[in-house]
Copies of this chain bind each other. A is one copy, B any other.
Amino acid sequence: MTTGRTATRGRRPGAPDTRADILAAARALFAARGFGGTTIRAVAAEAGVDPALVHHYFGSKADLFVASLALPVDPRAVLAPVADGDVDGAAERLLRTMLAVWDDPDHRLALVATVRALLDPSGPRLFADGFLAVVIGPLGRALGIDHPDRRMALVASQVVGVLLLRYLLEVEPLASMPAESVVATYAPTVQRYLTGPLP
């Protein structure tokens, strides 16, 4: 796993490439061991820096995980406003927010690459252990709903299907549907998973 690149280059901690080295190390470790199996200490060792420097640059392991996804936006920041306001309108806000990010052609390539990495079932459980715990679970708790993990897994099962068919597999008519039609189609489903009765 250790490449030795940082050691042979002999740069000082904090030099311009240190941040990139830490990110590369984080990506390699999350991809090999998953979110749960990766520690800040291991990432620091792989990058040849002190663990304190990893915290200094990236904050928590969750922050480092999100940074390693190389998304065009921080999904936690984008989704935070979804929790503001009436919980009965949360599904509509969630879908509208998500579609605005995905429908932006400047974002598409990076998002598709990230989703493919997260959903790759041959790799570590980056979606189940990482993205759900770091991004989707906290949104459920911010919404104040009961059974947040169970409900957010149901929400994810619908949202992932929409993303996959609309953007990655380009299934018609979903691929060409105006965003507001997609919101109107799926909001009742997602709202039921958020606040409706559970069997």
Residues of the B chain whose Cβ atoms lie less than 8 Å from the Cβ of A132:
171
Residues of the B chain whose Cβ atoms lie less than 8 Å from the Cβ of A188:
192
* A169 CB–B CB distance under 8 Å: yes
Within A9-57, which residues are at the interface with B (CB < 8 Å)? none
**Are A171 and B128 CB-contacts (below 8 A) given A165-B160, A189-B189?**
yes
* A103 CB–B CB distance under 8 Å: no
* A170 CB–B CB distance under 8 Å: yes
Residues of the B chain whose Cβ atoms lie less than 8 Å from the Cβ of A192:
188-189
* A93 CB–B CB distance under 8 Å: no
Contact B153–A157 (Cβ < 8 Å): no
Within A138-163, which residues are at the interface with B (CB < 8 Å)? 149-150, 153-154, 156-162
Q: Copy number of this protein in the oligomer? A: 2
* A128 to B: closest C-beta gap in Å: 5
Contact A172–B185 (Cβ < 8 Å): no
Contact A185–B125 (Cβ < 8 Å): no
* A125 to B: closest C-beta gap in Å: 7
**Are A169 and B116 CB-contacts (below 8 A) given A157-B158, A161-B164, A198-B185?**
no
Within A155-199, which residues are at the interface with B (CB < 8 Å)? 156-162, 164-166, 168-174, 181, 184-185, 188-189, 192, 198-199
Partner of A161, one of B149, B156, B168: B156
Interface, chain A (partner B; CB < 8 A): 112, 116, 119, 121-122, 125, 127-128, 132, 149-150, 153-154, 156-162, 164-166, 168-174, 181, 184-185, 188-189, 192, 198-199
Known: A121-B164, A160-B160. 12 other contacts (CB 8 A): A121-B169, A127-B169, A127-B171, A128-B169, A128-B172, A150-B173, A153-B172, A156-B165, A157-B162, A160-B165, A181-B199, A185-B198
